[in-house]
Amino acid sequence: MTTSSDHADHVPARPAGRVSLDELARRKGVRPIESMDDLACDVFDTDDELDEFLRDTYAARRADLG
């Protein structure tokens, strides 16, 4: 008979040639996000492009309501 702790300690063997997600991240130099600034990026070149996108988005949402 096994206990729940025995089951939690068991890690199934990885098929040959496969590596863990942690190992893949290490190989690619991926770092955890430390702040919201890490996610910031410039999507629109101008404020006009952003305004146009927002107008189209709001119009599409209103169109789905009726």
Mean pLDDT of the chain: 84
Statement: residue 8 has pLDDT above 70: no
- C-alpha–C-alpha distance, residues 52 and 31, integer Å: 34
Predicted pLDDT of residue 66:
62
pLDDT band at 58 (very low <50, low <70, confident <90, very high): very high
Is the Cα dihedral 47, 48, 50, 51 positive or negative? positive
Statement: residue 65 has pLDDT above 90: no
pLDDT band at 17 (very low <50, low <70, confident <90, very high): confident
